[in-house]
Structure 1
Amino acid sequence: MSGADLDRVVEQYHRALDAIVQGDSGLQKKMFSGRDDVSLANPIGPPVRGRSAVEQTMDRAVSQLREGEPTTFERISEYTGTDLAYIVEIERTQAKVGGADELSRISLRVTTIFRLEDGHWKVIHRHADPITSPRPIESIVQG
């Protein structure tokens, strides 16, 4: 598989993220590995491992989003090997969150790891958090 093949998969992955902020996790689920070592760390809960837990976590997040706008992506870093690849991006979008009637801005720092499985690139890990600007060291202290 080439980097160009991965580029097409990343484009599909980005469109699946647009569906997430519209309240649809179906496309995203298709992008993720079905293997037991798949993991997800999203900004509204602890990291989970395993296909069932990943799908439940996606569904929980999607149930709290609606009427989102297309996401923009700022690529920070990327690497493509023979069977593993990653991207680090800042994702920015707007969506209605929870019961809110207005759109809220959402910015996430995201690392996504892909693995070549049976000739197809699949997401094996996604980590997203809201840290997109410098913060004081005190912000990591737990009270």
Structure 2
Amino acid sequence: MLSDLANLIEQDHLALDAFVKGNPEPLKSLFSQRDDVVIANPFGPPAKGWKKAAETMDRAATNYRDGEIIGFDRISEYATTDLGYIIEIERVRSKVGGSDKLVPISLRTTTIFRREKGAWKIVLRHADPITSPRPAASIVGE
């Protein structure tokens, strides 16, 4: 059972490679389509429910072009027979927005997986650019 989760994590990493090339479909195919699915990315507020999550992934993928995965630094992982998570630093290079320059991007990510009808699915993905210490003032809104 947990080897199935390891396979899904590998598929997730391959799907992220497509994502930074501008293609959200492989990643979307790994997500639960239930009402409690959540995606939280650096481009906007969290989206809950499959319809909003899918729209958010579509919109986020339009920010990337010609990207590639550099690597994944696993910080933590845990799994039971029906629920699991990974925390990683994802490192990619991509063209972002209107830029024609490949730039390095590092994201702190948390991904939660759930077994649904015998198959593992992603139920939450949170990604943000906080990968190093920041001053307390950095959390104060404008």
- Give the alignment's TM-score, normalised by structure 2: 0.97
The C-alpha deviation readout for 1:59-103, integer Å capped at 9, x for no partner, is 111111110012410000000111100000000101001110101
The C-alpha deviation readout for 1:79-132, integer Å capped at 9, x for no partner, is 011110000000010100111010111110000000000111000000000000
Distance of 1:137 and 1:70 partners within structure 2: 31
Query: Is 1:129–2:128 an aligned residue pair?
Result: yes
Residue number in structure 2 paired with 1:104: 103
- 2:36 pairs with 1:9: no
| Aligned residue pairs, count | 142
> What residue number does 1:138 align with?
137
| SS, match of residue 15 in structure 1 | helix
Percent sequence identity over matched residues? 58
In 2, are the aligned partners of 1:78 and 1:87 still within 8 Å (CA)? Answer: yes
Distance 1:119 1:71, change over 3 A: farther
Secondary structure of 1:46 counterpart? coil
Give 1:29's aligned residue: 28
| TM-score (norm: length of structure 1) | 0.97
Any gaps of 5 or more consecutive residues in structure 2? none
Give the partner amino acid of 2:26.
L
What one-letter code is carried by the residue in structure 1 that aligns with 2:16?
L
SS of the equivalent of 2:68 reads: coil
Query: Match of 2:26, SS?
Result: helix
SS of the residue corresponding to residue 93 of structure 2 reads strand
Coordinate RMSD, CA, aligned: 0.8
Tell me whether 1:83 sits opposite 2:79 in the alignment: no
8 A Cα contact 1:18 1:71, kept in partner? no
State the distance in 1 between where 2:83 and 2:70 align.
25
SS at match of 2:127: strand
Moved over 2 A (4+): none
Does the 8 Å contact 1:17/1:71 carry over to 2? Answer: no
